[in-house]
Structure 1
Amino acid sequence: MKQDPTRNAAYTVDCEDCVHVVEFNPFESGDSGNLIAYGGNNYVVIGTCTFQNHKEAIPNNISLRFVQILHKHWPHMPEVAAKNELVIGFFPSRFCTSAADMKIRLFTSDLQDKNEYKTLEGHSDFINGLVFDPKGGQEIASVSDDHTCRIWNLEGVQTAHFVLQSPGMSVCWHPEETFKLMVAEKNGIIRFYDLLAQQAILSLESEQMPLMSAHWCLKNTFKVGAVAGNDWLIWDITRSSYPQDKRPVHMDRAFLFRWSTINENLFATTGYPGKMASQFQIHHLGHPQPILTGSVTIGSGLSWHRTLPLCAIGGDHKLLFWVTEM
């Protein structure tokens, strides 16, 4: 069935403030598979998405139940416009955040009564990416405007430290070989690190700047995608260090890139967030044009559901969800 490329969000959920970051739980974890975390100026919420007919390929209704609301664990942040200053990393039973004070807060929670956190200090500038290792969630990788990538254990001790040539914008762990880490820098270079040898083993080049976001395709780890300047770019790391495909996508500059977790040819991008509407697009590598286009006021944050063709983005006092056909 042909899709209308310009569409409103399939579902919206009202929120108490602007939403600057949103993350579905990316890990297979039984009942917590529908967990979602989102946050804004001075709050983080953990919720559970529930779906009617959620076992179908496309859910036909969505609701959000708040599980835990956390407030003011960091200094008040100014309105985010050109920079996403709140970052969330997610793992079942724990998650971490960073905000304007440049510290990482590692939360451990049973999502009921227990809610503890410890502070990890070491970065000297804004943190742009946080991610848990996918096997056991025993380590956290972070990248920052301070030109470093750091690896932390759950005790808050740094176990590795890589000096970058420019601000670190994104960090991703290999889903199976957890000694491999991908780090994307603002200067357009993407490097892969061997954490056992603690050295770079491969690099990719975008040939354009600024690179704002990159993501490792978990359905096919030979694929890497990114946005730089106005374009999206796709690499096949077995073929070349330069992009195999690229296309202009956002006239207001591209900001975020995320692969679908269930289809290696499907990905989403956003334009720069701000007070005006930001464009959101879903792309398929088999189609010359976006298969879905939307608009979000103060749009920021982007995440795919782990098992459904469902994409979430933060907006002005709202969470917005788009569903795309496979």
Structure 2
Amino acid sequence: MQEDSSRSPSYTVACEDYVHVVEFSPFSSGTPASLLAYGGNQYVVVGTCLFQEEDVEIEGVEFNVLRAFHHELRVDALAWSPESRLDRIPTVRLCTAAADRKLRLLTSDLQDRHEVKVYIKHGSVVLFHCSCQSSLFFLIHVCRVWDLDGNESTVLRLRSPGMSVCWHPEEVFKLMVAEKKGTIRFYDLVTQQAILSLDCGTLISADWCLTNTIKVGAVAGNDWLIWDITRSSYPQEKRPAHIDKARLFKWSRANENLFATTGCPGKITSQLFIHHLGHPQPVMIGSAPVGSGLSWHRTLPLCVVGGDRKLCFWMTEM
């Protein structure tokens, strides 16, 4: 593994404060531009991104702020609703989680109506994911699902702290939950029963490949791991990633063989590795001031990491 060929970001966007979490919307906005949201210490900013790879008249990246929401606390997680679109009747809707253990549902018509609903205070929120009309939270050894009216619909008992969660892209009642002790379970929310499980060592982050759902990836310790869920409950591939402990694993939405991992921040910088399943070494190594969050563009082989007063974007040719 090569450690001395780090690349600076392909593009950057200046922000007013530290960015703790950043997410591209995985859904079409109805326009050529993609929706992107990022959260800082007391705010959430929603905007659109358009890159020169999408429009030859643009130099680098064009980022336009649509709406800034005041947020009482630092934003620890956020997720987009598929209701967010910019054509027809423009609407942005997303959920956030923070250290006060509350869910905030942010909605705006980008004109006169801007709403922040605050609800749910129950245990310690670690991570959540939003899909269609429901939101999901990890309490220390419990995974709970609510609808967006605040009604709890499902409670899943875990055997260790939850670390990651993903909804199936098409079958809305299928859910992946990854636990710290290394078990990744797939649940049918109709029966509220586990239908499949995968195993590895102490797990830090996991993700379901939404362009090919037989693939699951994770980081555990310093390594990345890949499963083919049709073949075995144990990883088909396992390779070292970061010298220090790995932090996040995210599949590309544009290429089922492309994924990214980040390392735990060092004193000055943190590293982003972009991997391709056809290559033994990372196809790109990015380096930036201590970063937070990791998200892939919906159609481009491009990912973003937040940082100190900036968003950093890396484009890969794969």
TM-score by length of 2: 0.91
Once the two structures are superposed, the pairs formed by residues 142-153 of structure 1 within 5 Å of their partners are: 142-144=137-139, 146-153=140-147
- 1:131 corresponds to which of 124, 129, 141: 129
SS of corresponding position for 1:67? strand
Partner of residue 34, structure 2: 34
What pairs up with 1:36-55 in 2 under 5 angstroms?
36-54=36-54
CA–CA separation in structure 1 for the residues paired with 2:138 and 2:306:
22
3-state SS of 1:8 partner = coil
Q: Do the aligned partners of 2:100 and 2:121 also contact (CA within 8 Å) in 1?
A: no
The equivalent residue for 1:222 is 214
Task: Report the equivalent of 1:194.
Answer: 188
Residue in structure 1 matched with residue 72 of structure 2 by the alignment: 74
CA apart distance, 1:32? 7.9
Shift of 1:316: 1.3
Cα distance, 1:300 vs. partner? 1.1
Change (3 A) 1:30 1:166: same
Q: 2:171 aligns with which of 170, 177, 180?
A: 177
- Which of 279, 284, 297 does residue 292 from structure 1 map onto? 284
Give the whole-Å Cα distance in 2 for the aligned partners of 1:112 and 1:50: 22
RMSD (Å), alpha carbons: 1.8
Unaligned segments of structure 2, at least 5 residues: 85-91
**Alignment partner, residue 87 of structure 2:** none
> Identity across aligned pairs (percent)?
60
Query: What's the offset of the Cα at 1:55?
Result: 5.8
Deviation at 1:239, TM superposition (A): 0.5
Residue 135 of structure 2, aligned match among 140, 156, 175: 140
**2:255 corresponds to 1:255:** no
Match of 1:238 among 230, 234, 254: 230
For 1:63, the equivalent position in structure 2 comes to: 62
SS state at 1:273 partner: coil
- Which of residues 87, 92, 104 is equivalent to 2:77? 87
SS in structure 1 at match of 2:110: coil
User: 1:16 Cα shift?
Assistant: 0.9
Counterpart position of 1:155: 149
Look up the equivalent residue of 1:164 and give its one-letter code. L
1:312/1:200 CA distance change after superposition, 3 Å: same
- Is the CA contact 1:219–1:264 (under 8 Å) kept in the aligned structure 2? yes
Per-residue deviation, 1:46: 0.4
Report how far residue 118 of structure 1 moved.
Answer: 1.7
Partner Cα distance (1:290, 1:5) in 2: 11
Q: 1:282 maps to which residue?
A: 274
- Once residues 18 and 280 of structure 1 are traced to their aligned partners in structure 2, the CA distance between those partners, rounded to angstroms, is 18
Distance in 2 between the 1:107 and 1:86 partners? 15
